[in-house]
Amino acid sequence: MLKDFRDFIMRGNVLELAVAVIIGTAFTAIVNSLVNDILMPPIGLLLGGVDFTNLFISLTGTSYETLAAAQEAGAPTINYGLFINAIIEFLIIAFVIFLIVRQVERMKPKEEEKTAEPTEKECPYCHTTIPIQAVRCPNCTSELHP
């Protein structure tokens, strides 16, 4: 059983998946920082000093100054500011993945289009379509020169 487990772990697909998850996690941290620390502050400033992390609705009806204060009080909240941040993070990650996939597709060697050999030709006398091997047109009975 241990040998089977070792063989399973050492398969290329499992190792590639593990590397992809680790890199994806690191990339997500970078995107989170990009959104929260670089993109959202100027956007909040342009929108009148709004801090998106503190955009929430308290379901108890009590007003709280920050989301942290509402959570500390145990109030149920709808955190739509955090949701906006998550959407922006998703769009950035999706766009980067799109760019990566696009570049990988460009680097792949293009398969040359295989053109099928023609199986028919046109009779030069009556202009009907006939098999390419024909030496006489079955329609007008003209002799065809190769």
In a domain, 137, yes or no: yes
Q: Residue 70's pLDDT is what?
A: 92
Q: What is the pLDDT of residues 48-62, one digit of tens each?
A: 877 788 889 999 988
Question: Residue 70, class by beta-carbon neighbours within 10 Å (0-12 exposed, 13-18 middle, 19+ buried)?
Answer: buried
**Whether residues 77 and 140 fall in one domain:** no
My answer on whether 62 and 125 are in the same domain is: no
Q: Mean per-residue pLDDT for 78-103?
A: 88
Give the range of the structural domain holding residue 78, as residue numbers without chain letter: 2-107
Inter-CA distances, 53 with 48, 77, 107, 108, Å? 14, 12, 41, 42
Same domain, 80 and 21: yes
If one counts the domains in the chain, the total is 2
Query: Same domain for 88 and 36?
Result: yes
Model confidence, pTM:
0.55
CA distance 138 to 15: 65
